[in-house]
Every structure is written in C-alpha cells, then in structure tokens.
A = this chain, B = another copy of it.
C-alpha cells in the first residue's frame, strides 16, 4: 500500500539511528514519504511544534498529525499500513519478547555506546566490557528468537532487526575507534551472519550511511564534546 508522499513526512537527520528505524519501517511497508532533514544548530520551528515535549527527532507527520519516539513510530506504521507483512510478530508472546529486547537495546546498549564515545581511560574500558557483555546477551536472544534463521524476524526482517539494525552501525564505529572486536565468529557467530545480511537488505541499504561517513561524524562529535564540557554528547 502506498500513500501520497505529501501525506507522510519524516523529520530526521542522516546520522540518527532512531531516524533510520522510521525510514526502514516506512520502506518495509512501501510507504512513500518526504524526508525533512533537521540540521545542526537551532531546532526548526516544525520540530518544536511537532514534538514540544522532547523536541527530538524522529517525528513522523501523517496527514498533519505528529508521532514521536522511534519505537512508537514503528508500531504506528505497522498498525496503519496493514497490508503485506507485519513488522511485529503476530503472536502476543512473540510480540512481548520483541518489545522486551527493543526496550533493552534502548535502555542499555544505546546509552553505553554514547557514553563510550566521550569516556576516557579505565571508564572507557569498563563501558566497552559492559557493551561486549550486552552483545553476548543479544547473540543469545537472536539464537532463541530467530530459531536458527538469519533474522530476529526469522526468514525476513522484523521489528527487532530494524531496532538492532540502528545500533549495529554505531557498534562498528565503537570497534574501529577503540580497536576492539565486539562482534566476532568465536563469541557471536549469529550476529556476524546477521551483520553481513541486514545492511544489504533491500529496504535497508539506502538508509544506513557508510561506515567511513559515520566514523568521520563520530570524530567530529567527540571533538565538539571535548571542546566544551558544557555541551552534551549528541
């Protein structure tokens, strides 16, 4: 099902993992949309009006009505464009498990990745160790949820793939900038396989930026944070 592109707008930014989720979900459902890029500097009037509580991207605007928070946007897309495959599993228990791990990713992995980028010395080492332990939990979850298939969604991508798929490129950035390996054949073979396939998926490949471009962006953000202790990371 497609919708007139002027009915669906997404306020986002190319480097935001939370925006990638909304973009992939819209692609998954073949929904045409207008991308409105929020640039650095003062927030746009449209963003301030559309998400007055958090003033954060992404915001999906459908027929003039704004929806915020990436996980909520993904569920909205799934519940609004109902033809074709579903993003969330259909079984209530599978849905609960998917929601649980999505919560875990955002509650534990994303904040740790952000903290690593600006941490120093022993604190940084401790956080990288914690992140590695989290990734091992994700490997276990993938094994159980995918039932031996390629994706969390089984044979095709689904909710958890899209959610973890926005964290994975930043994991790779952590690996490169800190010369560590968090996803490897020995400890996380399922995620190695997943990481080779997911970014090349048809509905994903034009959304995720290249690794080198993210590295450059990460270095820029880290330098900016270092230059001013008053500013916040991201």
Instruction: Name A's B-contacting residues (CB within 8 A).
Output: 53, 62, 65, 67-69, 72-73, 75-76, 79-80, 92-93, 95-97, 99-100, 103-104, 137
CB distance from A222 to the nearest CB of B (A): 26
Give the residue name and chain of the B residue nearest to A141 (CB): B53
Give the complex CA separation of A97 and B79 in angstroms.
Answer: 13
CB distance from A74 to the nearest CB of B (A): 10
In the complex the two chains form, is B103's CB within 8 Å of A76's CB?
no
Interface centre among A65, A80, A99, A104 (most CB of B within 10 A): A99
Q: Report B-chain residues with C-beta under 8 Å of the C-beta of A80.
A: 92-93
Give the residue name and chain of the B residue nearest to A91 (CB): B79
CB distance from A22 to the nearest CB of B (A): 12
In the complex the two chains form, is A95's CB within 8 Å of B69's CB?
no
Q: Report B-chain residues with C-beta under 8 Å of the C-beta of A69.
A: 99-100, 103
Give the residue name and chain of the B residue nearest to A80 (CB): B92
Instruction: Answer whether A67 and B96 are a contact pair too, CB < 8 Å, given A53-B104, A103-B72.
Output: yes
Give the residue name and chain of the B residue nearest to A72 (CB): B99
Instruction: Answer whether A95 and B68 are a contact pair too, CB < 8 Å, given A53-B137, A104-B53, A137-B53.
Output: no
Interface centre among A72, A96, A103 (most CB of B within 10 A): A96
Q: Report B-chain residues with C-beta under 8 Å of the C-beta of A67.
A: 93, 96-97, 100
Q: Report B-chain residues with C-beta under 8 Å of the C-beta of A104.
A: 53
Give the residue name and chain of the B residue nearest to A67 (CB): B96
Partner of A95, one of B62, B79, B92, B95: B79
Q: Report B-chain residues with C-beta under 8 Å of the C-beta of A62.
A: 93
Give the residue name and chain of the B residue nearest to A101 (CB): B53
Give the complex CA separation of A170 and B234 in angstroms.
Answer: 33
CB distance from A78 to the nearest CB of B (A): 9
Instruction: Answer whether A75 and B53 are a contact pair too, CB < 8 Å, given A69-B103, A103-B69.
Output: no
Give the residue name and chain of the B residue nearest to A137 (CB): B53
CB distance from A82 to the nearest CB of B (A): 9
